[in-house]
Structure 1
Amino acid sequence: MIFATSGRTSPTADTVEEVAKSMMKRVLFAATGAHGHVLPLLPLAVAARDAGHEVVFATSEGMFGLVRKAGLEPIKAGLEPAEAFALATDHRPDAVPPEEIPVVIAKVFGDVQPRRVFADLTAHLERHPADLVVFEIANPGAGLAAEKMGVPAVRHTIGRVVTGPISAPIKAMTNAVAAELGLTRPDLPVVDICPTSVQEADFLADADRIPMRPTTWSEPGDELPASVRDRDGTRPLVYLTLSTTEAFDVTALRATIDGIARLPVDLLVSTGNAVDPAALDGLPDNVHLQAWVPQHLVLPHVDLIVHHAGAGTALNAFSAGVPQLVLHNPWVDEQRIADTVVAAGVGDRIAQHEIAADAVAEAVGRLLDDPSARAAAGKLAAEVDGMPSPAEVLTRLLAVTG
């Protein structure tokens, strides 16, 4: 709407406010209650808030603190991961044999969580209608709620999409839940934060994809660690991170540290929740240990990142143009991430059960001396930089809401 700027009439404050309200959209974001699922959606949610739209973020209560730090309003949707796994195993998660764990995971993401998220969000949307629902792809219950309430919806990736043996049972279970509810689960557009060159081929072939540049969300007050800020820069900086993973063998971690530390490098180690730093005493002088570091501030200073095959960490390294050494476990998702890093020429891999100081030292030394890995990582970073920003994607998404 264009207001006249001459003549006798001019817009009143009330008129301007009414126009602003008519342009404001109500957007609901939804993610499973885990850092690796919530964090990738925050940039788009913050972009919506900054554009003046009304934004709520649906997740489990354990993530409310993170959502509030981003300046967003959290609402409860879904179970805490531990609660969902307890229900999927009849409250005996520790008794599940290893070979049955994929079945339990499928039940959690294909049945238990979708049912609870659907119930929570349909109740919310009845009281607080939305113009758009954005949900991460591992949280299909939000899509079911949007379909039930007639709200436009889009999916959102959290990194490289992993298709494997567990994908089919998850899809089948979710489809069964949808049929039970009288819903059809239509194909929806998907905001994809993974660069095309490293995205899953089957996903690229089938998805109505909206690329968006992966943007690391940072907490207010984040600062570069002194061990990075004050270094003289005469030696390469290696960054070893366990990010938000909840478990990593302390013996394997110590062997990794010992292997890297014997090289002429500075080593920054971020243990997260996986390992108690007190269990890593007697470290060499070139090792700097912290529980958490702001990854987006550290990566521009890093020559090599060593990580646990986390989807978000790999994506952050792609964006920063940093070569990677991936320490993966046997699960399909981590193996696929390791496969992707190697195939893209940006790094190498070691299975966690094969970690030894000598093997780590050899791989790290080789990658630091390999200009081709650095060049490939730089090419991938340029691809990321050319992807549309969250603000640009938001404009496209809101155009479909009328």
Structure 2
Amino acid sequence: MRILFTSLASYGHLYPLLPLATAARDAGHDVVYATAPDSHPTLEKAGLESVAAGMTLQEVFGELFAGDARGRHEIPEAELNQAIGKGFGRLLPTRFMTDLEPVIAERKPDLVVYEMGNPGGMFAAHRAGIPAIGHGFGRVSTGGPMEHISKQIDAFAAELGLDGDSGVFWGRPFVDICPPSVQAPEFVARAQRLPLRPVGWSEPGELPSGVEGRDRSRPLAYLTLGTTGASQAHLLTAALQGLASLDLDVLVATGPAVDVAALGEVPANVQLEAWVPQSELLPHVDLVVHHGGSGTTLGAFAAGVPQLVLPQGADQFTNADAVIEAGAGAKLLGDELTADAVREASARLLTDSAVADAVRGLAEEVAGMPSPQEVVAQLSQYA
């Protein structure tokens, strides 16, 4: 079977599809992955053939705010949400649909698997008369910018003659990597879900020194604020100081957006790393303090690790709420994020037996979900 995968060109949208794409390739299917060229090196490392389609998120915001000297945090929320709606609901889908049409004509896929943030893949498949299924990257979120995005997408879909709405992905099958107990209940009730275990994916690399074979009697906290704008030095500093004041070790993934020098001198029990193979690291840690990105949230669920979530934007707030509702962690918002608050919340999460039971239950739930290989075996029925 010939399968075309397509997603937006950012880690949080690309990585979740790679386990299924590589499993399809390993099963002997002809797999090609379409996204912006910036992500092609990652696809090459995964052993997947890539073709160019779409544009990067940086290019989208550059087009939306061309000539605007304001920083992102200087733009009023209402104006920003409207722009995000246009970018994700019209600009990106139009560009991907346009770029994918010749790819589909040449490769003649039997099935298109499109990431939920990239409905342009669905639109291109619809226009070509080819079956398509969606693929999630986490909990399906509503509210805030998503209302603006959904409104634009649904209007676009109606113009193309698609029945239904994006809330349930036009009634088409949807590969859902979110455990049902923490997925949005209204989505679980309405959608045609195809469950897939969130196994995680990281670029190949070695774990930081001291992680493997360490003394598990001393806790290890992992701190990350992602790879995008959420990674701000002042937030990392507050979280780092709070964690470092506890009797544990702290591993910090600073990401590319932080000037490490701005963090100053760090305590002896803190280890800074620009990058870590996160999916390999999570089973070794005892607490994850993070921004609420879907990949980290689901990875911690799978590893059975408590979470302290420090959401900054996008779907991070609903992810934080899902963690709390599941009894698997806590959150700190805005001015609540202080070193003292991080220390107190982290100490509680490491010792709370109810939290331990909750995260253990989530790990068991994830382990019971179908593997990528099992889901690949079902794909032919949708082609």
TM-score by length of 1: 0.89
Question: Which letter does structure 1 place at the counterpart of 2:177?
Answer: I
CA 1:93/1:60 → structure 2, altered by over 3 Å: closer, same or farther?
farther
Post-superposition Cα deviations, 1:99-143, rounded to whole Å, max 9, x if no partner, equal 311111111111000100000001211122100000111111110
- Mapped to 2, the partners of 1:168 and 1:346 lie a distance apart of 27
- Mapped to 2, the partners of 1:332 and 1:296 lie a distance apart of 22
Q: CA deviation at 1:184?
A: 4.7
CA 1:145/1:225 → structure 2, altered by over 3 Å: closer, same or farther?
same
- Mapped to 2, the partners of 1:250 and 1:64 lie a distance apart of 29
2:115 aligned with 1:115: no
SS of the residue corresponding to residue 107 of structure 1 reads helix
CA 1:178/1:90 → structure 2, altered by over 3 Å: closer, same or farther?
farther
* Greater relative CO, 1 or 2 (CA 8 Å, sep 6+): 2
Q: Would you say the 8 A contact 2:327–2:358 is kept in 1?
A: yes
2:28 aligned with 1:60: no
Deviates more, 1:248-257 or 1:64-73: 248-257
Structure-1 residue corresponding to 2:121: 142
Q: CA deviation at 1:157?
A: 0.5
Post-superposition Cα deviations, 1:203-234, rounded to whole Å, max 9, x if no partner, equal 112110010101112333x2221131363334
Structure-2 residue corresponding to 1:206: 190
Structure-2 residue corresponding to 1:22: none
Q: CA deviation at 1:181?
A: 4.2
SS of the residue corresponding to residue 244 of structure 1 reads coil
SS of the residue corresponding to residue 288 of structure 1 reads strand
Structure-1 residue corresponding to 2:284: 301
Name the % identity: 49
SS of the residue corresponding to residue 213 of structure 1 reads coil
Structure-2 residue corresponding to 1:218: 202
- Mapped to 1, the partners of 2:147 and 2:274 lie a distance apart of 37
Question: Which letter does structure 2 place at the counterpart of 1:78?
Answer: G
Q: Would you say the 8 A contact 1:87–1:112 is kept in 2?
A: no
Q: Would you say the 8 A contact 1:224–1:294 is kept in 2?
A: yes
Structure-1 residue corresponding to 2:167: none
Q: Would you say the 8 A contact 1:239–1:269 is kept in 2?
A: yes
Structure-1 residue corresponding to 2:145: 166
Structure 1 runs, 4 residues or longer, greater than 6 Å off: none
Q: Would you say the 8 A contact 1:86–1:93 is kept in 2?
A: no
Q: Would you say the 8 A contact 2:307–2:329 is kept in 1?
A: yes
Structure-2 residue corresponding to 1:102: 81
Unmatched 5+ residue regions in structure 2?
165-169
2:273 aligned with 1:290: yes
- Aligned pair partner of 2:174 in 190, 201, 204: 190
Post-superposition Cα deviations, 1:123-180, rounded to whole Å, max 9, x if no partner, equal 2111221000001111111100000111111000001110114334323322333344
- Mapped to 2, the partners of 1:297 and 1:179 lie a distance apart of 42
SS of the residue corresponding to residue 28 of structure 1 reads strand
- Mapped to 1, the partners of 2:58 and 2:16 lie a distance apart of 21
- Mapped to 2, the partners of 1:253 and 1:165 lie a distance apart of 25
**RMSD after superposition:** 1.7
CA 1:258/1:165 → structure 2, altered by over 3 Å: closer, same or farther?
closer
Deviates more, 1:57-66 or 1:189-198: 57-66
Q: Would you say the 8 A contact 2:231–2:254 is kept in 1?
A: no
2:89 aligned with 1:82: no
Question: Which letter does structure 2 place at the counterpart of 1:303?
Answer: D
Which aligned pairs between 1:312-323 and structure 2 lie closer than 5 A? 312-323=295-306
2:216 aligned with 1:233: yes
Q: CA deviation at 1:314?
A: 0.3
- Aligned pair partner of 1:268 in 251, 255, 258: 251
2:16 aligned with 1:40: yes
CA 1:276/1:299 → structure 2, altered by over 3 Å: closer, same or farther?
same
